[in-house]
Chain A
Amino acid sequence: MDTSDSEHFESADEEFNSDTEDKNVKTKTISDTSETLKLKEMTISEESINVSNVKEVSTVNVVSNDNSCHDLKRKNVKPVVRNPTADKSDKRSKPGKLKLGVKLGTKITSTSCNAIKCDDVEDSKLKSNYDNKTSSSSKTNIDDNHKTCISALKDIKNEENLQKLDKREEIVLDEESNMWADDEWEPISSTDNKLTNKETNETNKTVQNNFSSGWGGWGNWDVTSLLSTATMGVTTITNHVSQGLTTVLESGIGVPDPEELARLNKMEGKSKESIEVDEEEEEKKEVDSKNNKSGVPDLTFGLGSFVSGVSQITKLVESTGNKVISSGLDTLETIGKKTMEVLQEGDPGLKKKRAFLKIDADKPVLSHILREAKEKAEQENRLAEEKHVSKKANYETLFDDHQGLAHLEALEMLSRQCDIKLKTLLESHSGADLIEMQETLSQIKELCELTDEDEDEKEELDESEIKEKIETAVTELNVSISYNKLMSTWKDISHWLENLDLNLYSAAQLHEESINILAQLTAVAVELFHKTGELLLIKEHRSTVDEADSLVQLTTTMTTLISDIAKKASNKLNEKATQSGSKDNVNQFITNVYFEATNSSSYIKNAFELLIPVLQVGAV
């Protein structure tokens, strides 16, 4: 018995050596036990046995079984005799229960019950080595205590054994004296007086105070131990995480809630009263003072189990958490490195990608938006078709059918390429050169400012007038671009609108055709801009100012064409409405035509703006 006992303690202590806090708990237990046995010949200090028992038992229980606290509560109510466990310790503990149960009531019942539980755990060998050691040491501890209570008061073996332990404990205390000096547990001992006064309410308050100071101590311990293994940044993170973990522990791992603790304390107070004897009072004071000397706080049942239990759990979670965090950081670092490698593949310095991202962040890609809108509309159409409803004219689909979307996409790519070139150039310049270049670029941008004037001024557009305008603009561009497509498209549309036989079309058909011609003309306009951009880029001698002027001119002319067509188309729709008399429906069509005409104009303007970098590249 004694050899195995001390072995248990030795092995347990070895385990605890890495952890000061656990050692403290351990030492506390040893001291409690030894104190108890020193005093045993005079009186039985049930209380101190009780305290040490419960502390140790609950420590094991919390470590070995997350539900132990629930067990604890449950078994407080149930008499232990009904426990199905029938091993040695059960038999041994029964007499103890019978004797002490009278005095301590439910208190001791729960203690012995937990002792049995510990044995169960150990016997089934379900637990790790660490747990086994802890539980076995506590088992012997408990057994000793019970024997003390029952008949082993004069057991020399045990006395010898505990004397050994006592010596051992003194050594431990010497070694750890500095630790105790700084330990935040210290203030707790000051509450011992209150405990002896058996003022239950105050005890409860103290318990709560102890919680806060106890957790504070843990926080400090976290920081110091982690500082040695991790960088400052990591420490901060880990500390946060561990704080989070403790919060979780407090609420989630079966730790009794404050209410429960308060109740338990009250019960303890009552049990104390029931065993109140003057002699005991004296003894208890002695115990308390000795406990204070050794720095071990005399904790009430709830607090003791709570703190020591949590301390072990926290340690386990802490170490696991540290592993998780450190390996998580390693993984993150690896991912980050790999990402950079991939990003920099064929693009040293990420210049291209940076430029791309800048552009993408600045403005949404129009062709994408259009494509999305088109796809959405197509899906809607599909649904409509399923319902046998006539297909509605969709601008985006028609725009794509006329290759407008493809040209816009290509123009965007071109524009982006020029942007990258410009940004690379800007990066290679510095000082006065850079300022000069930036000025040039902004001057070009100013040249390309579109004015929103005279959209309503031009009532009627003469064909030759339009042709002249476009011709002049294209000539100034000085590229071999053909504007024939634009002209012929516009002529066809105008011709169709003028010679339209309203009787051949329904209002819906007319509306659809109007949307179609708008989409067609816009697609041609975008194509013209795209081609212009390509040709400007391969042009030998650039004249940016002229180019900008003529492009502005082209843009205004084309938007004028769009609004002209929209006007003509809506006039036709109005005529149709007057003819058929269904005004409501047609009004909606007219609104839609104007809406799509506005869209067309903004697409054309957008295409023109995409050309600005092309012009800028020519100037620098």
Chain B
Amino acid sequence: MSYAYLFKYIIIGDTGVGKSCLLLQFTDKRFQPVHDLTIGVEFGARMITIDGKQIKLQIWDTAGQEAFRSITRSYYRGAAGALLVYDITRRETFNHLTTWLEDARQHSNSNMVIMLIGNKSDLESRREVKKEEGEAFAREHGLVFMETSAKTAANVEEAFINTAKEIYEKIQEGVFDINNEANGIKIGPQHSPTNPSLPGAGGQGGSQGGGCC
């Protein structure tokens, strides 16, 4: 399957907040109540469409366990988007957000789009973190915020797609250098010089090169 862009995502957050379940819901549209503990990192991929363009999301679902922290940190590099997940029924997962955020900011590129996700919104009765608190944290740290439920699939699609939209906008604005793979964006095979949409830019570059010589 050909795509215009490939975005690399990472999913981070405390263990048991539902990172792997979110991924499974997004890629397979199913929910698994009991999930094996993730070892290091697992992968998922799905094609989405933004602005009429096929975009492949390559998602790196990291292990939340403290033991894997040093390993998972090395996977942050080259991610265009990050889903920072906490569990609305466990306050400590919310309290750890600052540490996760610092980690992410330190080990990834500065333009990475970070989406804050309060998962398990279906468990309203056991809620410990108010939605407003999540919103406030996101506002304070310049993140996009959303409450999701991997179980009911509420907002799961939106969380992944909105992040992609934000990245896409940044590409349009020229914030991301799409030719630098360290930004977590790869141009798809159809965006080769034979693509009729690109020769304009290519030709321009060529003429500029000729001019300077």
A interface residues, Cβ below 8 angstroms from B: 346, 371, 374-376, 378-379, 382, 403, 406-407, 410, 413-414, 416-417, 481, 530-531, 533-535, 537-538
Contact = CB atoms under 8 A, between A and B. Distances in A.
B189 A406 contact: no
Contacts of B41: 410, 534
22 contacts: A346-B106, A371-B186, A374-B189, A376-B189, A378-B189, A379-B2, A379-B194, A403-B43, A407-B43, A410-B43, A410-B75, A413-B74, A413-B77, A416-B74, A530-B40, A533-B40, A534-B39, A535-B39, A537-B71, A538-B67, A538-B70, A538-B71
Contacts of B192: 379
Contacts of B67: 538
The 7 closest A-B pairs by CB, nearest first: A534-B40, A375-B189, A406-B43, A417-B74, A379-B189, A378-B189, A403-B43
B71 A406 contact: no
B2 A410 contact: no
A610 to B, nearest CB: 13
A586 B36 CA distance: 44
B98 interface: no
Interface in B163-197: 186, 188-190, 192, 194
Contacts of B2: 378-379, 382
A407 B41 CA distance: 9
Contacts of A538: 67-68, 70-71
Contacts of A407: 43
Contacts of A375: 188-189
Contacts of B190: 379, 382
A410 B77 contact: no
B58 interface: yes
Interface string B36-53: 000111010100000000
Given A379-B190, A414-B74, 19 more contacts: A346-B106, A376-B189, A378-B2, A379-B194, A382-B2, A403-B43, A403-B45, A406-B60, A407-B43, A410-B41, A410-B43, A413-B77, A414-B71, A533-B40, A534-B68, A534-B71, A535-B39, A538-B67, A538-B71
Interface in B1-45: 1-2, 39-41, 43, 45
A374 B41 CA distance: 23
B205 to A, nearest CB: 21
B39 A406 contact: no
Nearest to B41: A410
Contacts, number: 54
A379 B75 CA distance: 28
A416 B194 CA distance: 35
A331 to B, nearest CB: 15
A486 to B, nearest CB: 15
A375 B74 CA distance: 25
Contacts of A406: 43, 45, 58, 60
Contacts of A374: 189
Contacts of B188: 375
Contacts of A534: 39-41, 68, 71
A346 B67 CA distance: 24
A413 B188 CA distance: 22
Contact of A531 (B39, B77, B189): B39
Contacts of B77: 413
A535 B41 CA distance: 11
Contacts of B40: 410, 530-531, 533-535
A575 B213 CA distance: 62
A410 B189 CA distance: 22
Nearest to A377: B189
Contacts of A376: 189
Contacts of A535: 39-40
Contacts of B39: 481, 531, 534-535
Nearest to A537: B71
A425 B127 CA distance: 47
A371 B190 CA distance: 14
B212 to A, nearest CB: 15
B60 A382 contact: no
Contacts of A416: 74
A417 B76 CA distance: 12
A414 B43 CA distance: 15
A431 to B, nearest CB: 29
Nearest to A531: B39
Contacts of A403: 43, 45
Contacts of A382: 2, 189-190
Contacts of B186: 371
Contacts of B43: 403, 406-407, 410
Contacts of A378: 1-2, 189
A417 B190 CA distance: 33
A122 B186 CA distance: 63
Contacts of B75: 410, 413
A206 to B, nearest CB: 41
A63 B124 CA distance: 88
A584 to B, nearest CB: 31
Nearest to A417: B74
Interface in B57-74: 58, 60, 67-68, 70-71, 74
A530 B38 CA distance: 13
A368 to B, nearest CB: 8
A535 B71 CA distance: 10
B67 to A, nearest CB: 5
Nearest to A538: B67
A376 B188 CA distance: 10
B68 A410 contact: no
Contacts of A410: 40-41, 43, 60, 75
A77 B45 CA distance: 82
Nearest to B73: A417
Nearest to A376: B189
B107 to A, nearest CB: 10
Interface string B102-132: 0000100000000000000000000000000
